[in-house]
């Protein structure tokens, strides 16, 4: 399995630190609002990386944090006359609702900054003790010049950075170098605060992730991931903090997803060109949003548009219909010949095609292409009246591959609903047998009004929602 490592700018063979195990950390959202579809991309992409690792037999420990202390949360709380906890608790819950809708599995651990304060203070203390960080009037800064590898992830040269002072680096007189960043900031009225050796205050953003990764995964981890906007300064600073404090390499592989754009511009809250997952979910099912995200390679940009969403909905429908047809076929097939070896050999080809795509830096777009080919093969096989045994194998393969991507899951029907529908279909079949077409049509209309489509097939009457 090859993964593209931002640290080396190369696709590399994935070799875990410990055989059979993967430790991965994904930067999570700052919880002050609903997540937008750009934020949903790392959720879905790295959930899929995790699923594929699990499919390959790895035991994955997946940590995704919530940043629950931040200016944006404090501002929102002040505006809404409530506490920071109330704002963050609400949006953690909303983020989980969206993640559940997107079929993103819960992380092994979802740490929150407010619950890690002692460890954060400990790591800052270590950096101060080692002479890497310095204190000025209650503020603790990281001295970027004290870490010789500074810039290794983003490939930025420290002296050039200092000279040019990039727009993301704030200018602050107390800093020794313009690239130095804040580890601890002193308390301001109206803000939450914690006690520390440098006075009351709260931590900077970057230190949080270094600490949460260390606490839950250890000093050195296999994969650290997030959107590409985090490469600099966030991930660069995480490396500087963790490696200086722990005296060990931080992450072996750095994975970054590309942007979701609107009119080819990055979707972001600050530009105001964003669509929340919740908004989109009122026009398209959540599963279509997941499918849309997986239709592109995770490192390429995806331009968000209604047309593309529509095309994805149609594509997903094709896969789901095939799954339903197969389920029905398996249930009702009367061809009990032994399963056909030729078909089964063909089936393995789709699995191989799927795995080669995913082994090549998680190329979900090509993996979906393999699934489409399998769908075509399945439809043809059903037309050719394959045996029940073979159809079971096709059905299992299709479900198996879809599950790895977390797409096209079967809808859960309540048994009562299903019994009512089956009874109506039986009445319609009886009416048709008696040539009472008026009744048969009336029943079909009733089913349509219930959102049920029926299909007459050689094996009997098949029904599905939609
Ligand atoms: P934030 O809450 O802004 O820190 O973002 C949470 C995650 O979403 C980070 O991993 C970001 O890199 C990622 N992200 C934000 N905007 C986009 C976007 N337009 N496209 C892809 N990923 C994004
Ligand atoms: Zn982070």
Indicate if the pLDDT at residue 155 is higher than 90: yes
Distance between CA atoms of residues 63 and 108, nearest Å: 6
DSSP string for residues in 333-360: ----SPPPHHHHHHHHHHHHHHHHHHHB
Alpha-carbon torsion, ordered 333, 336, 337, 340, to 10 deg = 50
Structure tokens at 125: 């203390």
From the CA of 259, give the closest atom in ligand 1.
20
In percent, the amount of the chain with pLDDT more than 90 equals: 87
pLDDT in tens, 246-262: 999 999 999 999 999 99
Token pair recorded at residue 167: 């727009």
CA–CA distance, 50 with 64 (Å, rounded to integer): 12
Residue to mutate (ligand 1; options 6, 25, 41; most atoms within 8 A of CB): 41
**Residue minimizing CA distance to atom 20 of ligand 1:** 259
Contacts of 90 (CB under 8 A, 6+ apart): 31
How many angstroms separate the alpha carbon of residue 287 from the centre of ligand 1?
20
CATH of domain 316-405: 1.20.120.640
Burial class (CB in 10 A: 0-12, 13-18, 19+), 40: buried
pLDDT at 457 over 90: no
Q: Which contacts (CB < 8 Å, 24+ apart) does range 260-265 have?
A: 260/37, 260/38, 260/41, 260/293, 260/301, 260/302, 260/303, 260/304, 261/301, 261/302, 261/303, 261/304, 262/303, 262/304, 263/303, 264/301, 264/303
| Span 302-310, average pLDDT | 96
Which pLDDT belongs to residue 240? 98
Tokens read off for 406 = 């977390």
What pLDDT band is residue 384 in, cutting at 50, 70 and 90? very high
Structure tokens at 247: 């005296």
- Phi first, then psi, for residue 350 (nearest 5°) are -70, -40
- Residue partners of 197: CB distance under 8 A and separation at least 6: 121, 125
| pLDDT reading at 338 higher than 70 | yes
The answer to whether 302 and 311 have CB atoms below 8 angstroms apart is no
pLDDT at 414 over 80: no
Using alpha carbons only, give the angle 106, 24, 249 rounded to the nearest 5 degrees.
160
Which residues neighbour 307 within 8 Å (Cβ) at sequence distance 6 or greater? none
**Residue 234 CA to ligand 2 centre (angstroms):** 6
pLDDT of residue 454: 87
Hey, CA dihedral for 28, 32, 34, 37, is it positive or negative?
Answer: negative
Q: Return the pLDDT at 163.
A: 84
Query: Does 2-134+205-257 carry CATH code 3.40.50.740?
Result: no
User: What are the extents of the domains in the chain?
Assistant: 2-134+205-257, 316-405, 415-465
The minimum-distance atom of ligand 1 relative to the CA of 225 is 10
- Tell me the pTM: 0.91
Q: Which two tokens stand for residue 264?
A: 């080819």
What confidence score (pLDDT) does residue 167 get? 56
CA 57 to chain centre: 20
Whether the predicted pLDDT of 276 surpasses 90: yes
Confidence grade of residue 41 (pLDDT, cut at 50, 70, 90)? very high
- Average pLDDT of span 155-177: 78
Sheet of 302-303, strands arranged across: 265-266, 260-262, 302-303
- How much is the average pLDDT of 323-333? 95
Cβ burial of 197 (10 Å; 0-12, 13-18, 19+) is exposed
Give the pLDDT band (50/70/90) at residue 8: very high
Distance 207 CA to ligand 2 centre (A): 8
Ligand 1 centroid – CA 141 distance (Å): 25
Q: pLDDT tens digit string along 342-366?
A: 998 999 999 999 999 999 999 999 9
What mean pLDDT is reported for the chain?
Answer: 94
Distance separating alpha carbons of residues 440 and 254, to the nearest angstrom = 61
Q: In this model, does residue 170 exceed pLDDT 80?
A: no
Q: At CA 149, angle to CA 143 and CA 153, rounded to 5?
A: 110
Nearest to 330 by CA among 457, 443, 209: 457
Nearest CA to ligand 1 atom 15: 39
Which of 46, 229, 266, 289, when mutated, tests ligand 1's pocket best, judged by the most ligand atoms within 8 Å of its CB? Answer: 229
Ligand 1: nearest atom to the Cα of 226 = 10
Q: How far does residue 243's CA lie from ligand 2's centre (Å)? A: 15
- 8 A C-beta contact, residue 236 and residue 250: no
Cα of 341 vs centre of ligand 2, distance in Å, is 50
- For tokens 């600490």, the residue is 211
Computed from CA positions of residues 215, 218, 224, 230, in that sequence, does the dihedral angle turn out positive or negative?
Answer: positive
% of the chain exceeding 70 in pLDDT: 98
Mean pLDDT of 11-34: 97
Chain mean position to CA 380: 33
At 215-229, the pLDDT tens digits run 999 999 999 999 999
Ligand 1 pocket, Cβ-based, cut-off 6 angstroms: 27, 29-30, 38-39, 41-42, 226-227, 229-230, 257, 259-260, 266-268
For residue 461, what are the β-bridge partners? 456
Residue written as tokens 């750095």? 254
Indicate the DSSP class of residue 397: H
Which residue puts its alpha carbon closest to atom 9 of ligand 1? 227
Ligand 2 centroid distance, CA of 279 (Å) = 26
pLDDT at 144: 97
pLDDT at 450: 83
Helix or strand (DSSP H, E) at 67: none
Ligand 1 atom closest to Cα of residue 35: 2
Which protein residue's CA is at the shortest distance from atom 12 of ligand 1?
Answer: 227
Q: How many CB atoms lie within 10 A of CB 407?
A: 23
- Relative to the alpha carbon of 229, which ligand is closest? 1
Which atom of ligand 1 is least distant from the CA of 266?
A: 19
Distance 438 CA to ligand 2 centre (A): 64
pLDDT at residue 451 above 90?
no
Cα gap 319→374, rounded to integer Å: 9
Supply the DSSP symbol for 228. Answer: G
| Spacing of C-alpha 243 from chain mean position | 27
The whole-number pLDDT of residue 24 equals: 98
Centre of ligand 2 to C-alpha 137, Å, is 26
Band (166; pLDDT cuts 50, 70, 90)? low
- The pLDDT value recorded for residue 408 is 95
């Amino acid at each position: 399995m090859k993964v593209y490592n931002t640290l080396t700018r190369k696709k590399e063979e994935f070799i875990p630190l410990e055989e059979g195990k993967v430790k991965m950390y994904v930067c999570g959202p700052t919880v002050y609002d609903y997540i937008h579809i750009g934020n949903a991309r790392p959720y879905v992409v790295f959930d899929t990386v995790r699923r594929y690792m699990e499919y390959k037999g790895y035991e994955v420990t997946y940590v995704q944090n919530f940043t629950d202390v931040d200016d944006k949360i404090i501002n929102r709380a002040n505006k809404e006359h409530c506490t920071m906890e109330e704002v963050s608790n609400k949006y953690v819950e909303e983020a989980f609702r969206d993640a559940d809708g997107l079929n993103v599995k819960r992380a092994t651990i979802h740490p929150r900054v407010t619950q890690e304060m002692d460890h954060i203070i400990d790591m800052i203390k270590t950096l101060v003790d080692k002479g890497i960080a310095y204190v000025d009037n209650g503020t603790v800064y990281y001295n970027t010049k004290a870490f010789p590898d500074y810039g290794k992830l983003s490939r930025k040269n420290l002296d050039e950075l200092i000279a040019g002072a990039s727009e993301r680096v704030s200018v602050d007189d107390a800093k020794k170098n313009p690239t130095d960043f804040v580890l601890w900031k002193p308390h301001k009225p109206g803000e939450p605060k914690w006690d520390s050796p440098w006075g009351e205050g709260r931590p900077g953003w970057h230190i949080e992730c270094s600490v949460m990764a260390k606490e839950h995964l250890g000093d050195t981890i296999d994969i650290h991931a997030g959107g590409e906007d985090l490469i600099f300064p966030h991930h660069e600073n995480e490396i500087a903090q963790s490696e200086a404090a722990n005296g060990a390499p931080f992450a072996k592989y750095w994975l970054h997803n590309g942007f979701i754009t609107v009119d080819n511009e990055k979707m972001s809250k600050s530009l105001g060109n964003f669509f929340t997952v919740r908004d989109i979910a009122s026009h398209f099912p959540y599963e279509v949003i997941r499918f849309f995200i997986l239709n592109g390679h995770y490192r390429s940009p995806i331009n968000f548009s209604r047309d593309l969403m529509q095309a994805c909905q149609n594509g997903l429908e094709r896969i789901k219909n095939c799954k339903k047809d197969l389920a029905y076929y398996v249930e009702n097939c009367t061809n009990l010949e032994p399963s056909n070896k030729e078909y089964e050999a063909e089936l393995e080809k789709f699995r191989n095609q799927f795995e080669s795509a995913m082994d090549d830096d998680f190329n979900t777009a090509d993996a979906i292409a393999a699934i489409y080919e399998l769908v075509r093969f399945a439809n043809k096989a059903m037309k050719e009246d394959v045996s029940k045994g073979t159809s079971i194998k096709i059905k299992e393969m299709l479900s198996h591959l879809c599950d790895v991507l977390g797409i096209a899951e079967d809808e859960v029907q309540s048994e009562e609903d299903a019994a009512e529908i089956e009874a109506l279909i039986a009445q319609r079949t009886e009416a048709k047998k008696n040539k009472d077409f008026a009744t048969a049509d009336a029943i079909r209309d009733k089913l349509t009004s219930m959102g049920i489509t029926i299909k007459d097939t050689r094996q009997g009457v098949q029904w599905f929602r939609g």
